[in-house]
Every structure is written in structure tokens, then in C-alpha cells.
Amino acid sequence: MTARSIRVDHASPVPPYEQVRAQLADLISVGRLRQGDRLPSVRQLASDLGLANNTVVRAYRELESAGLVRTRRGSGTQVIAPTAATDSKAKLAEHARTYAAAAGRLGVSNEEALAAIRHALASLHTP
């Protein structure tokens, strides 16, 4: 994987770390990054994208929390094979982030966004 696969839109309301995280998660989910593939070092990716190191560190931490990568001191960050449960949780988290970003762009409150989700979930269970 090269940094050319990742783009950061500095004019976007989506924070740069989230843009990086989402794009890497997508590359993993579609198989362009596979189990055992190494991600660029934090310094290298930050330099390539013109970001602060901490921005990339946060993106990598989010991916690790989602069970998509593992970081080991001295050996870098590698893609791990997500289990079905982890994969489902990662996909759900991705959809939730996308929804949250869209709600933010619409300027709705957290309460309004949550109410819309509750309504959508309730309508799934209503014949």
C-alpha cells in the first residue's frame, strides 16, 4: 500500500484522522490490504500526506480498536484477519461514523440524530 491510495481533503468537515482511518478500513474490507500486510510507518504516512504524526497515530489506534490492525513495537502495524464478529462490529462502527458525519454536516443535534436512528430501528420491527 502506498500513500497514493489515501487522500486527505483538508477542506472537509471530517477530521483528517477519520479520513485516513475510513480509507484504510475500506482498503481492508475490499481486500486491497490483506492479513499480514504492513501499513506504512506513522512517520512515513504522516510525511506523505502532510499530516502531524499524532493524526496518523490516532487513525491507527482507531483501526486497532476495531480489530483491523495490530501494532507491535519494532515490527510496525499489520493488517489482521478480522473474525466475523469483529468484521460486523467494524462495519457497523463505520456506518455509524458515516451517519454521525452526515448528521454533523446537516447541523442536527446529537439527540435529533439518535432519535432518527431509534425511529429507523423501530420501523424495522413494525410490520
pLDDT tens, residue by residue, 23-47: 998 888 878 888 899 999 999 999 9
d(CA 85, CA 115): 26
pTM of the model as a whole: 0.65
Give backbone dihedrals phi and psi of 33, rounded to 5 degrees, phi first: -115, 125
pLDDT tens, residue by residue, 72-118: 988 899 999 665 556 677 778 888 888 988 998 999 999 999 999 99
For residue 7, which of 23, 26, 18 has the smallest C-alpha distance?
A: 23
- Domains in the chain (CATH in brackets) are 3-124 (1.10.10.10)
